[in-house]
Structure 1
């Protein structure tokens, strides 16, 4: 099945494995809550066991420099057809959501650095933004 839409996740290439995993999970969960049909039907195995439905989109996890993450976030947000979730350093430093919102409200956009960005939308638009990025290693 060829999907007309695409979902990608881009993580800061300098992060260690634990931080990158955390950033990917937080960003992916946030994106999933915004997508229509984000979870497929539950499935049954041959023994009758039920397995929770999964996201039907392949999700390549790509790597980029922090400065490139900001550019990707801004460029994707400028495209009306794309859904974008950016996980930023303000959120990463916060220990609870209320603190994050308060700190974010005091932080100018130019001072926000991103550690991960998820982009979903028409395949051609997502590819145009991310096609030269390598997979996260």
Structure 2
């Protein structure tokens, strides 16, 4: 099945493994909140037990350095794509109110990005992540 859109998460390659997983999970959840159409239906096994839904299309995960993450954010803005972001400061906050305050205190060009998540038309997303390698 081919989708008209793509989902990409770009994580800072220098993060510890647990941080990469944490950032990826937070960002995927953020996209599901903004784009409810990417979430499929609930699952039910053969015994009738119900489970939560999943994102209905593949998520490509890329690795990047801080400079490339900033470039991704800029490219997204230039193309009118609203990303979800996770900054390095969010590793030191422990609730949503403090998280938003930590981001609000920093101008766009000074954000210390740990990750960026995007959902956009396929060709647009390809241009935004051009030059990045999939996370290994």
TM-score, length-normalised on structure 2?
0.88
Contact 1:89-1:113 within 8 A present in 2 as well: yes
Look up the match of 1:79: 79
Tell me the equivalent position of 1:67.
Answer: 67
1:1-137 equivalences in 2 (<5 Å):
1-80=1-80, 82-137=81-136
CA distance 1:96–1:47, change in 2 (3 Å): closer
TM-score, normalization by structure 1: 0.87
- Once residues 59 and 38 of structure 1 are traced to their aligned partners in structure 2, the CA distance between those partners, rounded to angstroms, is 11
Where in structure 1 are there 5+ consecutive unaligned residues?
none
| 1:21-45, Cα deviation, whole Å (9 max, x unpaired) | 1111111111110003132112333
Aligned in 2, Cα 1:111/1:132: closer, same or farther, shift over 3 Å? closer
CA distance 1:18–1:3, shift in 2 (3 Å): same
Unaligned runs of 5+ in 2: none
C-alpha distance in 1 between matches for 2:48 and 2:95: 41
State the SS of the aligned residue for 2:83.
Answer: strand
Of residues 39-48 and 27-36 in structure 1, the stretch that sits farther from structure 2 once superposed is 39-48
The change in CA–CA distance for 1:49 and 1:135 in structure 2 (over 3 A counts) is same
For the aligned residue pairs, the C-alpha RMSD in angstroms reads 1.8
Per mean C-alpha deviation after superposition, the further-off stretch among 120-129 and 94-103 is 94-103
User: How far apart are the structure 1 equivalents of 2:85 and 2:122?
Assistant: 19
Secondary structure of the 1:87 match is strand
Aligned residues of 2:30 and 2:84 also touching (Cα < 8 A): yes
* Contact 2:87 2:103 (C-alpha < 8 Å) held by counterparts: no
Deviates more, 1:87-96 or 1:4-13: 87-96
